[in-house]
Amino acid sequence: MRHVKNFLRDIPLLTLGTFLVAAGVYFFKFPNQFNTGGVTGLAVILNAVVPAVSSSTFASMINIAFLALGFMFLDKSFGINTIYCSLLFSAMLSGLEWLFPMAAPLTDQKTLELFFAVILPSLGSAVLFNMQSSTGGTDILAMILKRFSSMDIGLALLCVDVLIAASTLYFVGMEAGLYSVLGLVLKSVVVDTVIESLNRRKSFLAVTSCPEEVCTFITHTLNRSATYWEAQGAYSHEAKWVVLTALSRSQAVALRLYLKSTDPHAFILVTNSSEIFGKGFMRA
């Protein structure tokens, strides 16, 4: 029941992430025959071999096939979020193809369209990955391989994506192939950057002489918790207190300003962190 409640709560973000992926793929990737690996990359190759069937149709067919494999081999480990996003992705591609049939790219600026073909799906994928979900496809294959083998899944999928992207050079053409390889490199950088940005929080460490006031501000005003312990200055040998907490960016600014007015001599260390696990943050 708890998983269902979490799923219902996450539906808006899951839908937004899936739409960003579908829009980027349909409007920018497929018309230009860009191939950055995965199911959509296979769809581009198959469309080049069988032009009578659209890339959107091939992508939907492959995605549903992987989904069926997931049901067969993964059982309960097959997440409801991935099932929802996988089916929604296929439906969105078919819907976009019906609503906005495209016979050619939106513009004649291939480099511009490559950026949108990379950025939109990367943003969507980052949102989904951050919620332990994906649009299915080769991610489902990775789950199956992880369960039944001891191979390095990440490296194996990267090699497959590189092979799929590079095959564009042969099946589609040199220009589309080179753009595809470039797009694959950009995709990996953008996804990692966006995921880190979405999860970025502030690790806040303060050495202060008034820990009670600081902790009261953190717990009552910022609605966060903190840990503090007694310490001693290495040079002055004065008794101090170290307060440790994790905050959002705006909360870190508020605490810094509060410390500035309450304890001007406090020593403050604020660092960026994209991996904070625990109550109120990411689930371990």
The per-residue pLDDT for range 194-230, each reduced to its tens digit, is 777 777 788 899 999 989 999 999 999 999 989 999 9
Compute the distance between CA of residue 184 and CA of residue 116 in angstroms, rounded to an integer: 13
Mean of pLDDT values over 154-166: 77
Helix count and strand count (H, E) for the chain: 12, 4
Structure tokens at 105: 């790219």
Q: Name the band, by pLDDT with cuts 50, 70 and 90, for residue 242.
A: very high
Q: pTM of the entire structure?
A: 0.75
Question: Are the C-beta atoms of residues 213 and 281 closer than 8 Å to each other?
Answer: no
Q: For the chain, which residues make up each domain, given as ranges?
A: 2-198, 201-273
**What's at 235, amino acid-wise?**
Y
Topology classification of domain 201-273: Alpha-Beta Plaits (3.30.70)
Structure tokens at 114: 């490559």
Q: What percent of the chain clears pLDDT 90, i.e. is strictly above it?
A: 36
Q: Name the band, by pLDDT with cuts 50, 70 and 90, for residue 280.
A: low
More confident residue, 130 or 114: 114
pLDDT of residue 99: 93
Compute the distance between CA of residue 243 and CA of residue 78 in angstroms, rounded to an integer: 41
More confident residue, 50 or 201: 50
H or E stretch covering 231? strand 227-232
Q: Give the residue among 130, 158, 117 at the shortest CA–CA distance from 31.
A: 117
